[in-house]
A and B are shown apart, each in its own frame.
Chain A
Amino acid sequence: MLKILSYLLGQKLATVKDLCPPLRAEARGLPTITDRACIGSGCGSCVDVCPTAAITMLPGSDGKITLDLGACIGCSGCYEVCPSDTIAESKSTQVATRTREELVLSNDPALKVERKRGEKNVFSNSLHARVVSTGCSATDAEIGASGNPVFDVDRLGVHLVASPRYADALFVTGPVPKGMQSPVKDCFDAMPAPKVVVAVGSCAISGGVHRGGYAEANGITDLLPTSIFIPGCAPHPWMILHGILLAMGRDDLCVKENREPVYKNLPGKSVSPLLHAEPAGT
């Protein structure tokens, strides 16, 4: 007992004070669309490499594209192959949105959607959440991590509860295949109102790589009214925290961030490490 106490007292404070800072240099971010034009009418290499058909070249539009972060699994293929930096890496962790449409990025001005800020609501001071896992469990692990001493979601009055009866929010992870569709609806019905549904991870939003199969694993958004969308596969704990803060209308607590993408083709700008890193050990 004394040993444990002395060990714990010897541990330094691990909690990061700033909420939702950008990802570290070595971490791969989600893609974003910049204001740089495609080459000609668009080379289409991003469309070819995307494993989930998240990128669409708008027909006859001279290089106008849409990128659906709700389908993106963050493989980084698109911004690696993009020759014009039209798609570039974003280190932002403040990527959660309140509507599905906000996740679809585009360089066509007619398709740009303004991102909504959170609004103060009944959950602003405290949110109790029930997590229902329906997928590969990487997102569950990151939800677990968001409660650890480093990210410490509990400091915001957020608590993960064991029963839907105590829950304000339903966090759904995974693509919700047929076997989980009825249990997750039962869980939602068992929750007292007011209640919100949060789709955590690209699988929960769109089904990710599983979309369109016989297991009907197409995400939660068609099954339950979803209020918050957190993209990523798996979303970083800071992204999950951002989604939670958005649900609570407290996203103003996040640090101010520089949303400048990581351009790889301009001298003097930061270089995508995946393509150009110095060989290690030299």
Chain B
Amino acid sequence: MKVVTKLVPADRLQDSLQQWMMDPNHRIGVLTSIDGDQLAVLVLDLLHNSAEVWLSPIEDNHYKSLTLNIPQLHWFERVIWDMFGIVPDNHPRLNPVLLQEAYAPGLYPLRKAPLEASHKQTLEKDFHFLDVRGEGVWQLPVGPIHAGVIEPGHFRFSCMGEVIHNLEIKLGYVHRGVEKRLTEVPWKKAHFVAEAIAGDTTAANALAHAEAIESLCDVTIPARAATLRTIALEIERVAMHTIDVGGIANDIGMVSINASFSKFRGVALDLGDAISGSRFLRSFIIPGGVRGEPRMPVEQMLTNVRKLRKELNKLTDIFLDNPTAVDRCEKIGRLKPALAHEFGMVGVTARACGIKYDTRKHFRQGLYPELDVPIASHPTGDILSRTKVRIDEIFNSLNIIEKLLQELPEGPLSLQLPNQLAKDSVGVGIVEAFRGELIHLIFTDKTGAIQRYSIKDPSWNNWTAISIAIRDSLIADFPLCNKSLALSYSGNDL
């Protein structure tokens, strides 16, 4: 996608952003920096399906925190502090997100020039949990290693009896330095790194990477490749939503239902095998097109898709028909639409609060936005609502896969890209991953090399949701609520 770059003086950035956000069709996509000398904001216009980058040069590594007036930026400002050593003055809860105590103080991996020693000392990086006090208040630490087979993160609950009053989340355990690595490897091999960001979001990350690179090469890929990419993206959505619904069943105690969901997730992953040769769709979507032809006859794939839809239809009906399941999910883990909006939440979490935002309607990714996709949405914002959105999206995606397989156009699979990316430019890829709005933002320097590669996982918007949704609930509701929000640790930690 082509983006316009504008210069906004740092002292006017807050006003400009607040004014921008007055329009309900406007969003803030990413707030970051390029090399530590400026703030860079990607703002999105959903009415005109366009985007702009605002650059604000800052001095002395300080600026007035934007969080107090625009709460959804609190996570972004913490990350900028982590990676660049830029201090947002008066940030209400300044704690590390990506770099925690394991890393040497004063390491700012994405800065152009190292900070001076005097400035470093002002940046104490210990994690301070919110101190909740009062008679009977106790703290429950959980993680980083959890009881199940999931990614690592630390949760600190402050409880009164069984009731949770505050939850604070400490992440960064799986920070692998992906953004830095993406500027180090030759850009034609960068897709291998981009798709290793989060294993369950391989196709979406690969697609966002490809779209961003292609926007820097100014090419449009062949129709057959775009169709296969779209199919891959939707297969990923079906597989991951299926196991997430299964996880809800599991956490309710319906282990046998989860076993069935797990089996059908396998069928969906095998569709990935059929189209790309990899169950997790690895090394398939590349800048310029896709790597290969489907590896199974289309007729056979269509049969498998229809069989899967029939089976999932039966299974989800039984699940949603079960009074125990509904009772356990209803009115629990509620998120108010106003808060979801204020914190800029995306994906299933937002759509389960009635916010009908789906990037497939607005930004180029595969065959979208020309290809019409229904938006699944439920208004109540609870666990049941999120589960219903997921189930609706599974069937929407299966329908899209079926339609596209039937209409698969002939033609080449990829085109040759130039050896050089556009100089001094910005490339953007925005993709609706199964968790929501995923953004890859690339800045090139005057030689055409990648100077800054910024990634915004949907979880950056949504991690706050769990703290809000679980407030005043029972500890026993946490696993279920956590599962229903399906947040990514590796996608967040980069």
- Identify the A interface with B (CB < 8 A): 3-4, 7-8, 11, 14, 24-28, 51-52, 73-77, 131-145, 147-150, 160, 162-163, 174-175, 177-184, 187, 203, 208-210, 213-215, 217, 233-234, 236, 273-275, 277-281
Contacts and interface: CB of A to CB of B under 8 A. Distances in A.
Contacts of B293: 273-274, 277-280
Contacts of B197: 136
Given A27-B273, A134-B152, A183 B173 contact: yes
A183 B259 contact: no
Interface in B139-192: 144-145, 147-152, 172-178, 180-181, 184-185, 189, 192
Contacts of A236: 279
Q: Chain B CB within 10 Å — which of A52, A139, A273 has the most?
A: A273
Interface of B: 100, 102-103, 107, 109, 144-145, 147-152, 172-178, 180-181, 184-185, 189, 192-193, 196-200, 202, 243, 254, 256-257, 259-260, 262-263, 265-266, 269-270, 273-274, 277-280, 282-283, 291-298, 314-315, 318, 321-322, 408, 410, 488-490, 493
Contacts of A139: 199
Contacts of A132: 145, 152
A24 B493 CA distance: 34
B145 to A, nearest CB: 6
B149 A131 contact: yes
Contacts of A14: 263
A9 B461 CA distance: 42
A267 B178 CA distance: 43
A234 B199 contact: yes
Given A27-B279, A144-B262, A163-B147, A177 B273 contact: no
Main secondary structure of the interface of B (DSSP, over half): loop
Contacts of A75: 192, 282-283
A72 B273 CA distance: 19
B198 A137 contact: yes
B273 A26 contact: yes
B392 to A, nearest CB: 21
B254 A148 contact: no
B196 A210 contact: yes
A140 B175 contact: no
B355 to A, nearest CB: 27
Nearest to A26: B295
A133 B176 contact: no
A165 B488 CA distance: 27
11 contacts: A11-B260, A74-B282, A76-B283, A133-B149, A134-B173, A136-B196, A136-B490, A138-B280, A179-B172, A179-B493, A187-B145
B102 A182 contact: yes
Contacts of A175: 176
A140 B185 CA distance: 26
A184 B493 CA distance: 17
A26 B408 CA distance: 19
A132 B259 CA distance: 22
B417 to A, nearest CB: 16
B174 A174 contact: yes
B190 to A, nearest CB: 9
A136 B199 contact: yes
Nearest to A144: B149
B151 A140 contact: yes
Contacts of B318: 3-4, 7
A74 B145 CA distance: 28
A180 B151 CA distance: 11
Contacts of A147: 262
Nearest to B258: A148
A183 B145 contact: yes
A140 B493 CA distance: 17
A142 B262 CA distance: 11
Contacts of B174: 133-136, 174, 177, 179-180
Nearest to B173: A179
A236 B103 CA distance: 33
Given A74-B282, A209-B192, A273-B295, A138 B175 contact: no
Given A14-B263, A140-B149, A143-B149, A274 B177 contact: no
A210 B410 contact: no
Given A4-B322, A134-B152, A183-B144, A177 B176 contact: yes
B260 to A, nearest CB: 7
Contacts of A24: 270, 273
A73 B191 CA distance: 13
Given A274-B295, A280-B294, A281-B298, A136 B198 contact: yes
B266 A162 contact: no
B186 to A, nearest CB: 10
B149 A181 contact: no
Contacts of A150: 263, 266
Nearest to A7: B318
B257 to A, nearest CB: 7
A114 to B, nearest CB: 30
Given A75-B192, A132-B152, 4 more contacts: A4-B322, A140-B151, A175-B176, A179-B174
Contacts of B408: 280-281
Given A145-B265, A274-B277, A137 B100 contact: no
Given A133-B150, A150-B266, A209 B279 contact: no
Contact of B254 (A4, A203, A210): A4
Contacts of B107: 214
Contact of A26 (B199, B256, B265, B274): B274
A149 B262 contact: yes
**10 nearest A-B residue pairs (beta carbon):** A138-B199, A28-B277, A136-B199, A162-B147, A26-B295, A148-B262, A179-B173, A51-B192, A215-B177, A277-B293
A2 to B, nearest CB: 11
A280 B177 contact: no
Contact of B291 (A177, A274, A278): A274
A280 B298 contact: yes
Contacts of A277: 292-295
Nearest to A178: B102
A136 B173 CA distance: 11
B286 to A, nearest CB: 10
Contacts of A143: 149
Contacts of B291: 274
A77 B283 CA distance: 9
Contact of A213 (B147, B180, B274, B488): B180
A273 B37 CA distance: 50
Given A7-B314, A277-B294, A27 B277 contact: yes
A162 to B, nearest CB: 4
A26 B147 contact: no
A72 to B, nearest CB: 12
Contacts of A3: 318, 321-322
